[in-house]
Amino acid sequence: MRVYLAGPDVFFPNAIEIGQAKKDICAGFGLQGVYPLEADFSCLSMAGSPAEAGARSFALMVELMDTCDLVIANMTPFRGPSMDVGTAVEIGYMHGRRKPVFGYTNVVADYADRVEPDGCFIEPFALIDNCMVEGPVRETGAVVVRTNVPKDAIYTSLDGFAECVRRAVELLSKRVRA
């Protein structure tokens, strides 16, 4: 099975190394990890403007997701109290395609505990983020894997990812046997 590896990892200085490590973990469980930076970005050079390059990049990610059987998403907060918005879109896209969605986070606190009060309503659901991004994981029959890691390892620890892959394989194996 091909696994789309969603997350803000592609923005990290060591993005290639993280992607390879994730692919190696997937291979250890008999899965083929598909990292977004594997796409052929050569078509971006033909774009007439930065906005056109962005649109082409989006199309490339959709094409890549369409070749995958499921998604494992890094739902760790990124650039604020919430997860990466691009990853949220990828979760929604894969869910809309009826493909299993699994997720993990390296921050264990509920979303409501991470948001600064501002007078607006905050979802009281004890979830890691908005119910619209955790909902697809729960519909898959899974829960978001929460791993407590030191603050300096929030974007580098792959312990939660490995556990998420293990749980995904276990759940999907049960479905095949049923």
Q: Which tens digit of pLDDT belongs to each residue from 51-105?
A: 988 898 999 999 999 999 999 999 999 999 999 999 999 999 999 999 999 999 9
Domain boundaries, given as residue ranges, for the chain: 2-177
pLDDT at 161 over 80: yes
Is the distance from CB of 76 to CB of 90 less than 8 angstroms? Answer: no
User: Which tokens is 22 given?
Assistant: 């994730």
Give long-range contacts, CB 8 A cutoff, 24+ apart: 158-162. Answer: 158/18, 158/21, 158/22, 158/25, 160/104, 160/105, 160/106, 161/22, 161/25, 161/72, 161/74, 161/104, 162/25
Q: Where are the alpha helices (DSSP H) in the chain?
A: 15-28, 50-66, 85-96, 111-114, 131-140, 159-177
pLDDT at 156 over 80: yes
Give percent above pLDDT 90 in the chain.
87
pLDDT of residue 39: 85
Is the distance from CB of 76 to CB of 106 less than 8 angstroms? Answer: yes
pLDDT at 177 over 80: no
Is the distance from CB of 94 to CB of 70 less than 8 angstroms? Answer: yes
pLDDT of residue 178: 66
Burial (CB < 10 A; 0-12, 13-18, 19+), residue 123, is: middle
Q: Which amino acid is at 153?
A: A
Work out the average pLDDT over 137-166: 97
pLDDT at 41 over 90: no
pLDDT at 115 over 80: yes
Return the number of other C-beta atoms located less than 10 Å from residue 19's C-beta. Answer: 21
Q: Read off the pLDDT band of 137 (50, 70, 90).
A: very high
Separation between Cα atoms, residue 162 and residue 85, nearest integer Å: 22
Separation between Cα atoms, residue 121 and residue 124, nearest integer Å: 9
Is the distance from CB of 58 to CB of 44 less than 8 angstroms? Answer: no
Work out the average pLDDT over 133-148: 97
Give the CATH number of domain 2-177: 3.40.50.450
Instruction: Find the helix packing angle between 15-28 and 159-177, rounded to 10°.
Output: 40
Mean pLDDT taken over the chain: 95
